[in-house]
Chain A
Amino acid sequence: MRSNREPFEFRATFSELDEGLDILHRSVEGLRKATGRGPDDMPLILFETALGEIGGNVLTHGRPPGTERPVDYALHFEGGVVEASLTDSGAPVHEHLGREMPTHESEAGRGLAMARSLLDELGYERDGGVNRWRLVKRL
């Protein structure tokens, strides 16, 4: 049975691609269980898809060579709303934020457009030397 009453919290730091992606998906699995949702729960599928896009970008572009700072990740669910935050020390990405869905032939460049359309809110800010991402969706 679904439960939107109990808050759910998950925090992690990671540096490697495989490790980071595993942790992101594991956190959503934890939320799925905590809220009594099944594997076909559509709002959570859409959120996980957006999280995979932003998380994949952060882990591939947000950790330039020589970076020691790991990616900070937090997932919070309360009152029916899930919010994830990711912080990385990569280059600023303002110029990519408005990117539209590319043509069918394109092999890349869909991630941000997908995440925007899957979430209620996709926030980005450059804060000093870090990128802060905020993903919000009502489940």
Chain B
Amino acid sequence: MALDVQTRQADNGVTVVAPTGRLDVAGAPALKDAISEAVKNGPQRVVIDMEGVSFVDSTGLGSVIAVLKQLRSSQGELRLAAPNQQVRVVLELTTLDRVFPYYATVEEALTGF
């Protein structure tokens, strides 16, 4: 199951990236490519809408870390929204929940961003 990634611009200029499918070793490159393309000439603030992500593995998580490092190197920032239970388990197990602030909804993630 290939990862499908949609991007849009929110009213406050933040890029919202919405992957659908499994963010795993097969799907991770699609997310990295989509975000790199989306922020090439635009704002470096990104919300990843995780609602459509059914499953994440360590490689998928690695792609999110890569994106975070890329954004922070140009004073940008990243927030995660609406992770399901499996994604939250992986974030907590790896203690990456201390690195990625995550929000219950995209609207909450966009507030004050």
Contacts and interface: CB of A to CB of B under 8 A. Distances in A.
Interface of A: 17-18, 21-22, 25, 40, 42, 45-46, 48-49, 52-53, 56, 59-60, 101, 104-111, 114, 117-118
8 contacts: A18-B2, A40-B85, A56-B57, A107-B69, A109-B58, A110-B61, A114-B93, A117-B93
Given A53-B58, A114-B93, A117-B93, A106 B65 contact: yes
Contact of A52 (B24, B94, B96): B24
Contacts, number: 72
Nearest to A118: B93
Contacts of A105: 65, 69
Give the interface size class of chain B. Answer: 20 to 34
Contacts of B99: 104
| A contact patch SS | helix
Contacts of B76: none
B97 to A, nearest CB: 10
Given A45-B86, A104-B98, A18 B58 contact: no
Given A25-B22, A107-B63, A107-B69, 7 more contacts: A18-B2, A48-B55, A49-B57, A56-B58, A105-B65, A108-B58, A108-B59
A111 B58 contact: yes
A45 B96 contact: no
A49 B93 CA distance: 11
Contacts of A49: 55, 57, 86, 89-90
